[in-house]
């Protein structure tokens, strides 16, 4: 190979590209059903925006950034939330609550040795301008319905609350270390329990106290902790929505981004051990980006993981017809049939390489095209249509174009 | 504003974002009807690929490029053709001819003073591996049908051929200056006839000889020139396809990219004076990127210009229902109705901010939501549904949920 892909990026073609498009379309449909409107923001943002406080040091170190020809420091977005915050800040007359969805690529300089992509899709919904629990439940319900529409059923929604955690840390006199502790807990899935305990000890924290709590070894009355009402209200309303059975309260959950302020959630598929979606409430971020502060809550689907999860199950056939000319003399007639089929909305190809019939059939066969129409002298003279079913290896004759169309459309 | 958009980029929300999505979906549908398959390549490419010879100096100077954290020199794609060439080079077992479409953003450091975007969409189809005229006609026919599907009808397809031009330059003993002359002619639309003549004089070319030819003042027998058969064959086949009336042979057409080798085309809308699509045959590019050379021809729709052209005509209404609770006590009942409407596939919203009825109606009104369902004590007790048509300012009562659904679905 002369030119390779940039590390951490990939090409997708044909069936795989179709699968990806279909998944994004399905997600979009559910997002719109919940009344979220599309927002499209640029890939390029000022580095000043991308690197504001509250984003978290780890992500900051992964931002693709550079000076443009005009000397401006810009970067590629690493999520869809900061662009949303900028959009809200710059458009003070938006109707509130502002409900938007955005599906698009984001970039992070991830470790490719761990098979991570550096350019990948996210699909986000957010409600800006409401601090009600209904907003929390709406984004989660909508996100979960999107996953269900894609056929993902056996998932768990882990639920935690940043206020509850901070309140607990205060209670055990570790308020000043709460951010550090949450950062360490966030690595639980990646580095495992023992390493997390080690790191907690390193910063002078009694790791057993923490683990007693997050593993529910001692029964704390969490209703005494700030923020517990947000969890209880979420649980109550989720019953009305009907997804309460999916929820697992998990005090070890500590999402990577440091701007969360209330309920946080993460969806994982049981057997896979990785999260495929997540989000939470972030009531202070908008104010950091703009002049007025607005509460907000969001949910994001990790589309690349969903792609991988569904890839193996996807074997949909392309409904496409190839019109083959038996001899060179029938080429123009073949093209006329192609044009008529397309007029009737049927996906149609013909030979663009002046090949003989054998090579045309090989091409159709290799491309797994299910139907070939054979156009020869006899067919033209008699006004009939000879269709070859490539899978069943049989031919069907149609006496009129209408019959052919009916057959091809019925088969859809 | 604290944080601004990066210069040359823009946000799109709501109706405008819907319009853009619908346009891209329509284009995709036509591309697939012609048997083109989707290819998705990354935004990031190696700078080595992006800056290969044949791309043209002007575009090279517009490539966003930088060193990543690993010291690799990478850039943002400025078109979808080079990534295609790389994909073909890296996948030697592709079925030929390879027909792919790609719709995605590209980046160029354009002059923002001329209202140009630096981040914009392109929608491309290409046939790789065929040197037949059928491939030229297929990409053009498909591209034109996409434009027609969008409602753009009054366009002209300008057609020229690089071989014809070079053959003419040879005839008038200017073979050694052909690339320079084409570069200058390419500026015709931008800087005007007089300036082009001036520039031609500057490189020592008799500008009248050139303009006699490109303005058809002298009738040259172009059938003597190399490449003229490609024009004639294109015209012949376009008659079968039925778009011959749209074609205007134009020897002043000289597309910006220097890798074209045969027929080139550009679509302009009569009253607008700018091109909205174009393409051409490039038989040497694939060989420069990979080991084996393959002929290729492509067509690209300048989607941003199409967006602008259609923007003013787009006033489609969002079909969405808002379920309002008259008093706080009816909130849960309102939510239950929301969930049932969504189950029936109806886009539905409710109040996420605990507002009184007046504020809920204001919200629905400002968002131009056409239907509001009013949920009060009476409605719940009687099991009826009160629908407010926000446009007609009238209320309709439904005695059952089924009647309500039927009404909302009939209205679609």
Instruction: Report if residue B6 sits inside a domain.
Output: no
* Amino acid A272: pLDDT: 61
Kindly report the nearest CA distance between residue A247 and chain B, in angstroms.
19
CB-nearest to B289 from A2, A7, A118 is A2
Contacts of A353 in chain B (CB under 8 A): 96-97, 129-130, 132
Are residue B249 and residue B363 in the same domain, yes or no?
Answer: no
Are residue A151 and residue A261 in the same domain, yes or no?
Answer: yes
| Final residue of a structural domain among A294, A313, A332 | A313
Are residue A217 and residue A338 in the same domain, yes or no?
Answer: no
**Number of structural domains in chain B:** 2
Are residue B351 and residue B299 in the same domain, yes or no?
Answer: no
Tell if the CB–CB gap between A95 and B291 is shorter than 8 Å: no
Q: Chain-wide mean pLDDT for chain B? A: 92
Instruction: Report if residue A9 sits inside a domain.
Output: no
- Mean per-residue pLDDT for B172-180? 89
Contacts of A35 in chain B (CB under 8 A): 320, 322, 347-349
> Any idea of the CA torsion for B168, B169, B172, B176, to the nearest 10 degrees?
-160
Minimum Cα–Cα distance from B39: chain A residue: A13
User: Closest Cα to residue A398, out of A388, B33, A335, A340?
Assistant: A388
Are residue A147 and residue A240 in the same domain, yes or no?
Answer: yes
Q: What is the CATH number of the domain that holds A342?
A: 3.40.50.800
Q: What SS3 state is found at A258?
A: coil
Rounded to an integer, what distance in angstroms lies between the CA atom of residue B115 and that of residue B128? Answer: 34
Q: How confident is the model at residue B330 (pLDDT cuts 50, 70, 90)?
A: very high
Are residue A29 and residue A169 in the same domain, yes or no?
Answer: yes
Tell if the CB–CB gap between A44 and B99 is shorter than 8 Å: no
Q: What SS3 state is found at B146?
A: helix
* Amino acid B219: pLDDT: 64
**Entry pTM:** 0.92
* Amino acid B258: pLDDT: 78
Kindly report the nearest CA distance between residue B164 and chain A, in angstroms.
23
pLDDT in tens, B132-172: 999 999 999 999 999 999 999 889 999 999 999 999 999 99
CB-nearest to A2 from B33, B89, B345 is B89
Backbone torsions φ then ψ of A387, nearest 5 degrees: -105, 130
Structure tokens at A174: 């570790």
Whether the pLDDT of residue B271 is over 80: the answer is no
Tell if the CB–CB gap between A2 and B33 is shorter than 8 Å: no
- Mean per-residue pLDDT for B188-211? 90
Taking CA atoms, A54 is separated from A57, A77, A98, A257, A286, in Å, by 9, 15, 22, 8, 11
* Amino acid A271: pLDDT: 65
Rounded to an integer, what distance in angstroms lies between the CA atom of residue B203 and that of residue B220? Answer: 24
Q: What is the number of other CB atoms lying within 10 angstroms of the CB of residue B201?
A: 12
Are residue B48 and residue B159 in the same domain, yes or no?
Answer: yes
CB-nearest to B289 from A3, A65, A366 is A3
Rounded to an integer, what distance in angstroms lies between the CA atom of residue B236 and that of residue B249? Answer: 13
CB-nearest to B3 from A42, A119, A289 is A289
CB pairs under 8 A between A and B: 245
Q: What is the CATH number of the domain that holds B306?
A: 3.30.930.10
| Final residue of a structural domain among A298, A313, A328 | A313
Minimum Cα–Cα distance from A297: chain B residue: B352
Rounded to an integer, what distance in angstroms lies between the CA atom of residue A381 and that of residue A395? Answer: 18
Of B2 and A343, the one with more pLDDT: A343
Rounded percentage of chain B residues whose pLDDT exceeds 90: 76
- Mean per-residue pLDDT for B313-334? 88
Instruction: Report if residue B9 sits inside a domain.
Output: no
Whether the pLDDT of residue B315 is over 90: the answer is no
Are residue A210 and residue A342 in the same domain, yes or no?
Answer: no
| Final residue of a structural domain among B297, B313, B329 | B313
Are residue B308 and residue B325 in the same domain, yes or no?
Answer: no
* Amino acid A316: pLDDT: 65
Residues with pLDDT less than 50, chain A: none
Please list the alpha-helical segments (H only) found in A72-225.
81-90, 133-149, 162-171, 178-185, 188-191, 193-202, 207-214
ipTM of predicted complex: 0.91
Instruction: Report if residue A10 sits inside a domain.
Output: no
Q: Which of A15, A16, A42, A149 to mutate to test the interface with B (most CBs of B within 10 A)?
A: A42
Strand order across the A348-350 sheet: A348-350, A321-325, A371-375, A385-389, A394-398
Contacts of A13 in chain B (CB under 8 A): 37-40, 87, 91, 100
What string of DSSP letters covers A298-349?
A: EEEE-HHHHHHHHHTT--PPP--EEEEESSGGGHHHHHHHHHHHHHTT--EE
Instruction: Report if residue B4 sits inside a domain.
Output: no
Are residue B229 and residue B358 in the same domain, yes or no?
Answer: no
Q: How confident is the model at residue B223 (pLDDT cuts 50, 70, 90)?
A: confident
Tell if the CB–CB gap between B335 and A134 is shorter than 8 Å: yes
Are residue B343 and residue B255 in the same domain, yes or no?
Answer: no
Rounded to an integer, what distance in angstroms lies between the CA atom of residue A234 and that of residue A244? Answer: 9
Instruction: Report if residue B251 sits inside a domain.
Output: yes
Tell if the CB–CB gap between B38 and A354 is shorter than 8 Å: no
Tell if the CB–CB gap between B33 and A347 is shorter than 8 Å: yes
Instruction: Report if residue A8 sits inside a domain.
Output: no
Tell if the CB–CB gap between A66 and B70 is shorter than 8 Å: no
Maximum CA pair distance of chain A? 93
Whether the pLDDT of residue B361 is over 90: the answer is yes
Q: Which residue segment(s) compose the domain that A357 sits in?
A: 320-408
- Mean per-residue pLDDT for B381-399? 95
Are residue B205 and residue B224 in the same domain, yes or no?
Answer: yes
Instruction: Report if residue B178 sits inside a domain.
Output: yes
Contacts of A366 in chain B (CB under 8 A): 95
């Amino acid at each position: 190979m002369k030119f390779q892909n940039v590390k951490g990026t990939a090409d997708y073609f044909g069936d795989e590209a179709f699968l990806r498009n279909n998944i994004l379309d399905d997600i979009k449909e559910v997002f719109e059903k919940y009344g979220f409107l599309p927002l499209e923001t640029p890939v390029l943002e000022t580095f000043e925006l991308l690197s504001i406080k509250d984003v978290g040091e780890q992500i900051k170190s992964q931002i693709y950034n550079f000076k443009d020809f005009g000397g401006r420091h810009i970067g590629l977005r690493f999520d869809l939330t900061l662009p949303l915050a900028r959009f809200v800040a710059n458009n003070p007359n938006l109707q509130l609550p502002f409900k938007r969805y955005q599906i698009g690529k984001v970039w992070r300089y991830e470790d490719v040795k761990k098979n991570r992509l550096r350019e990948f899709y996210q699909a986000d919904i957010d409600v800006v301008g409401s601090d009600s629990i209904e907003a929390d439940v709406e984004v989660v319900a909508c996100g979960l319905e999107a996953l269900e529409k894609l056929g993902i059923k056996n998932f768990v929604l882990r639920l935690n609350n940043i206020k509850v955690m901070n309140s607990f840390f205060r209670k055990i006199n570790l308020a000043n270390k709460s951010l550090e502790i949450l950062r360490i807990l966030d690595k639980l899935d990646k580095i495992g329990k023992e390493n997390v305990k080690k790191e907690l000890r390193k910063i002078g924290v009694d790791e057993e106290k923490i683990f007693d709590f997050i593993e529910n070894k001692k029964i704390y009355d969490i209703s005494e902790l700030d923020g517990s009402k947000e969890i209880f209200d979420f649980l109550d309303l989720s019953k009305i929505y009907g997804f309460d059975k999916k929820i697992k309260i998990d005090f070890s959950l500590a999402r990577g981004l440091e701007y969360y302020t209330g309920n946080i959630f993460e969806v994982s598929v049981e057997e896979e051990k990785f999260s495929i979606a997540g989000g939470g409430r972030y009531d202070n971020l908008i104010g950091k980006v703009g002049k007025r502060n607005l509460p907000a809550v969001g949910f994001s689907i990790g589309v690349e993981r969903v792609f991988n999860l569904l890839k193996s199950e996807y074997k949909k056939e392309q409904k496409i017809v190839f019109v083959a000319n038996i001899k060179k003399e029938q080429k123009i007639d073949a093209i006329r049939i192609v044009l008529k089929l397309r007029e009737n909305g049927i996906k149609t190809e013909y030979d663009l390489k002046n090949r003989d019939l054998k090579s045309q059939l090989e091409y159709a066969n290799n491309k797994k095209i299910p139907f070939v129409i054979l156009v020869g002298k006899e067919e033209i003279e008699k006004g009939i249509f000879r269709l070859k079913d490539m899978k069943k290896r049989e031919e069907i004759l149609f006496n009129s174009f209408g019959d052919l169309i009916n057959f091809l459309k019925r088969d859809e």
